[in-house]
Amino acid sequence: MSVILAHMRRCEAVTGTDLIEATGLARATVIAVCDDLIEAGWVRELPSQKLTVQKGRPARIFEFDALAGVVVGLDFGAAKTTALVADLRGNILAKATENLGGFTAPDAQRLATIDKAIKKVLGEAGVASTDVLVAGVGIAAPVDRSGNISHSQLFWESFDIGIQENLRDRYGWPVLLGNDANLAAMAEHWMGVGKEVSDLAVMLAGERIGFGLMDSAQLRHGVSGRSGEVGLLELVDGVGTPDGIAALARDMALAACKTGAPATVLTTQVDAHSGEIPAEAVFAAAAQGDQVAQQILDSIGRRIARVVAIMATFTDPELVVIGGAVAASSEVLLKPLREELVRFMPNPPRVEVSTLGDAIVGLGAVRLALDYVEKHALDLLLVG
């Protein structure tokens, strides 16, 4: 049954003959299984169309019902949470984002905000909570194979607020937890520029640098979920901290605006409330020809190249993808990054920028949920 269902999920409408050829099963078995899947709600039968040249009864036509249920993908970050709803083929039906108020906000407040985003996205998708078969959740912390969050850093601990238990108690869903960079790698391998690349590294480099790694099309996890955590960057000459692209752009922009520094439009971009210069302003100034901003981004690109070189020396990926919220602007970093990378490695990996935008972790969470559905489909109860 699972073999037939898996094949139908990958195809459009199929006939019994199609399924026989694909699976090698007997006709009677195929038809019996299809009838069982129709009764269970996973498959629907389409009206037969008898051809004029066909003799006998028209062929029965079957189709996997992508709306037999839905999955939820959740990106639970420090500043905001984004929820996605997808059908069982992975088509995104709706997206909703809510601000969390920072990782120092009370746990109850953050859980309430997550619930608000979920209710909003379910409403926009036009589905009920009972239609959800499973939820995947991405967080900016290592997660071991048992779903436990590492407590070796205060920042990582801040994500251990009982989100799995809360959603299970509230909705009754199976809830799967994953590291955000790992889920980003799953998303890229599924539908991004890394689609079908077997040896892949995805770098989330907004605030802090972290990698999701795929080896021979399998996610590299590690005993405690820390395979892609590039710690101890303070030991790497020319790097010094785990700060990501956005954090570096803000800090370097402020430093460039000190008294006596070269003239730059960045001096007019200081936010009155935070006292910072947004990373987006640095990219915009560079695009307008501001030399100071251009020098900042050149420096960031060359710095990130050192991190990529260290990672690639140990993992040997075919492709490295820069993903996350800053990815849309990071194309400008590729030239200095690639130039520097060649200095360190004779055969460096390709480096590209993700096209999945800030939805990359949520899409990975959707993929995590879909993988669970595919593995446990026959154990799941369809409401509709």
Query: Which CATH number do you get for residue 104?
Result: 3.30.420.40
The pLDDT score that the predictor gives to residue 53 is: 47
| Residue 229 pLDDT | 86
**Same domain (yes/no): 148, 203:** no
pLDDT of residue 228: 87
User: What would the mean pLDDT of 38-45 be, rounded to a whole number?
Assistant: 93
Please indicate whether residue 205 or residue 204 has the higher confidence score (pLDDT). Answer: 204
Q: What is the reported pLDDT for 101?
A: 82
Would residue 123 count as lying in a domain? yes
Question: What confidence score (pLDDT) does residue 103 get?
Answer: 75
**Rounded Cα gap, residues 237 and 227, in angstroms:** 22
The per-residue pLDDT for 268 is 94
> pLDDT band at 325, cuts 50/70/90?
confident
Domain contains 34: yes
Same domain, 291 and 312: yes
Please indicate, yes or no, whether residues 237 and 328 belong to a single structural domain of this protein: yes
Q: How far apart are CA 291 and CA 260, in angstroms?
A: 16
- Domain holding 15, by residue range, is 2-64
**148 and 283 fall within a common domain:** no
Query: pLDDT tens digits, residue range 288-301?
Result: 999 999 999 999 99
Q: In what order do the strands lie in the sheet with 92-99?
A: 92-99, 80-87, 70-76, 132-139, 175-179
What confidence score (pLDDT) does residue 261 get?
85
CA–CA distance, 228 with 233 (Å, rounded to integer): 13
Q: What integer pLDDT is reported at residue 55 of this predicted model? A: 57
Is the residue at 124 inside a domain? yes
> In terms of domains, do 238 and 303 share one?
yes
**217 and 331, same domain (yes or no):** yes
Residue 57: which CATH number?
Answer: 1.10.10.10
pLDDT confidence bin for 41, thresholds 50/70/90: very high
pLDDT at position 54 is 52
Same domain, 222 and 349: yes
| Domain co-membership, 101 together with 57 | no
Domain count, the chain: 3
In this structure, are 159 and 230 located in the same domain? no
Residue 384 lies in a domain: no
What are the backbone angles phi and psi of residue 32, rounded to the nearest 5°?
-65, -40
Indicate if the pLDDT at residue 339 is higher than 70. Answer: yes
d(CA 91, CA 44): 19
